[in-house]
Chains A and B, each alone.
Chain A
Amino acid sequence: MAQIRIENLRKEFGKFTAVQSSTFTIEDGEFFMLLGPSGCGKTTTLRMMAGLELPTSGEIYIDGEEVGQKPASQRDIAFVFQMFALYPHMNVGKNISYPLLSQGMPKAQVKQKVGEIAEVLGITDILNKPVGGLSGGDRQRVALGRAIVRDPKAFFMDEPLGALDAEFREHMSEELRALHDRMNATTVYVTHDQLEAIQMGDKIVVMNHGVVEQFGVPQDIYDWPATKFVAQFIGSPPMNFLDFEGTIGTGATKVQLGDVSFNVPEVREGTRGALTFGIRPEHVCLDDSAAYRGRVTATEYLGTTQIVTLDTANGAIKARLSSSDSVKVGDQTGLHFDPRTITLFNATTGQALKSAANAEVLADG
């Protein structure tokens, strides 16, 4: 097992830059998520790490060794493809044993190893079946079997659950996570599903347009997004943005939205101009006595909670409230924001302003 370090990794396809300059580190044994919208360069990044694509510049270290220009076959990693890519002309057992045959392992040992893996994955009964007729879940297991049979330094998975039915995804994601915890193998997992990333990952890199927006543990990324993009991409519904013009001095603990003033975590670097006030829906409370006013325009019932949309002087805002609160469309009410959870953004650059609350998170991101 191994630590993987990416430094200033860049990939251009002709004039198009798919990956700008990524830097992040995957620690030994981590379940690491590469998260971002479709087309942001996740697959390209993973393929460079695997050796299926050569970087334009930058370095990739696996276990301290620079492997950027090494062929895939010499990197000792395993890859689970988005569409599984099981060899169609071989049966399940042959598919799983194929990586071992390339190492010249004796037949008896191969057989034993494949048997063990099949046991772990619960596919012993289909070892002799052709891969053509398998269900999505079984294909997935065979693909995993082919990956783990070799005890590689790391596993790379490109949206491994993307081809599965929704109901099966959750089950499979639990299985995957359990498998990882059991083997403690460094795993890099690509997904565009923020929920999947937050649920499964030890650590997350959020990418957009080939740029690493933020890198850290799920909770830090959720609570203290480094950019407006991350704030919006992660969380459902996403973070609320209230746009305003103003000046914030370094050391300020209040901001002025219209004629109402809000307490915020102490600002570490002041700025002026177009700004955005960010607050997650669950940190918005309705409080009739509050000075900041809103009018309810929609409610959405979600079982134990409800999402209430309100119109304010600075734009629409969503609040996650208990379903027992009675709220009606058309209600006029006051809004209260939990001051410890507020993030301010420079609306022009999209970057979060450093504050006493997020400084630590942004420093290592």
Chain B
Amino acid sequence: MSFSVTEPTNGTKWFAGILVAAYAVITLIPLIWIIATGFKSPVDSIAYPPVIVFEPTLEGYVNLFTDRTRATPDMLEAAGPPQTWYDEIARERGTVISGPSRYGERFLNSVIIGFGSTALCMILGTAAAYAFSRFRVPLKDDLLFFILSTRMMPPIAVAIPIFLMFRNLGLNDTHLGMILLYTAVNLSLSVWLLKGFIDEIPMEYEEAALIDGYTRFQAFYKVVLPQAATGIASTAIFCLIFAWNEYAFAVLLTSGEAQTAPPFIPNIIGVNGKDWPAVAAGATIFLVPVMVFTVLLRKHLLRGITFGAVRK
């Protein structure tokens, strides 16, 4: 029998496999629960004990995307036969669709604000991190500590001053205001993370590009950026997840125009009693963009930064 330092034994592999599988199941249960609830009828959604096997319906999604009014039988009669499949679902519950709900707009707001602030954060963060990494900046260490220190208290601690400031600047309930706010909150962490990644990229690459006849900016753009892609991608995911999920500021600072999905989703319950399937449908759709974004950038997350083209 021989032992290897690097090759796990079969027992170890099994043990690790079971642990990972158990962890995956535990973390996936709430997710599966939410997705399933979105396709349940209101009765199934609050049934006890919970129903695992149920007849799926799109009612939750219809309710999520539409506003409906309760209708008397003669009103239903007068409206004629249902025009569409979603009309039909609404009719079965004795309601007629009076128009689209606000969910679409709120979702779009989330997309604009989440991706907008992430993009801005990456642009500013990469530029700042590059400067801190490569140039002689006066008081560099103090500045870096100051930047980090802005992250040391919970952002919501400054909610009241920000609220007042936004009101005076006319930024309350605007896309721009929320983008600026989330960028400000995320920027400190981004600068630190990105500086770490850029520090790892040897200076020689840029210098080689300078000597090859490129300008400093071209060297940055064509040589540093592609190699920092991994770092930028992972930092972007952090920023997006924060901005996407942020609830407290969104409740405080947005109510109409720029309201994001998180403060809107709970409202769905209030409007129609206990419409859990609609809430679950809203949450499910809300999960998709971050998931897609993360899956798209997965390649960068897993890839090493350099392929060892510089021998250390």
Contacts and interface: CB of A to CB of B under 8 A. Distances in A.
A136 interface: yes
B307 A131 contact: yes
B222 to A, nearest CB: 9
Contacts of B309: 84-88, 131-132, 139
B212 A85 contact: no
Interface in A41-84: 50-52, 71-73, 75, 77-79, 81, 83-84
Interface stretch (B17-25, B158-166, B201-209): B201-209
A130 interface: yes
A73 B308 contact: no
A168 B256 CA distance: 71
B235 to A, nearest CB: 19
Contacts of A75: 211
A81 B204 contact: yes
Contact of B214 (A73, A77, A150): A73
Interface residues of B, number: 23
Contacts of B202: 83, 85
B295 to A, nearest CB: 22
13 contacts: A52-B207, A52-B210, A71-B210, A72-B210, A79-B211, A81-B204, A81-B207, A83-B204, A83-B312, A84-B311, A85-B309, A87-B208, A98-B212
B232 to A, nearest CB: 14
B183 interface: no
Contact of A73 (B211, B306, B311): B211
Report the 9 A-B pairs with minimum CB-CB distance, sorted nearest first: A132-B307, A85-B204, A102-B213, A88-B309, A99-B212, A72-B210, A89-B226, A85-B208, A83-B310
Contacts of A139: 309, 311
Q: For chain A, which range describes its interface: under 10, 10 to 19, 20 to 34, or 35 or more residues?
A: 20 to 34
Contacts of A83: 202, 204, 310-312
Given A51-B210, A98-B209, 17 more contacts: A52-B210, A72-B207, A72-B210, A73-B213, A77-B211, A79-B208, A79-B211, A83-B204, A86-B310, A87-B209, A88-B227, A98-B212, A99-B213, A102-B214, A130-B307, A132-B309, A146-B212
B204 A88 contact: no
B208 A73 contact: no
Given A73-B213, A102-B213, A102-B214, A85 B205 contact: yes
A324 interface: no
Contacts of A103: 213
Contacts of A84: 309-311
Nearest to A147: B211
Contacts of A72: 207, 210-211
B241 interface: no
A103 B212 CA distance: 9
A302 interface: no
A163 interface: yes
B147 interface: no
Nearest to A152: B211
A123 to B, nearest CB: 15
Interface string A230-255: 00000000000000000000000000
A81 B212 contact: no
A9 B210 CA distance: 22
A86 B209 CA distance: 10
Contacts of B9: none
A79 B227 contact: no
B215 interface: yes
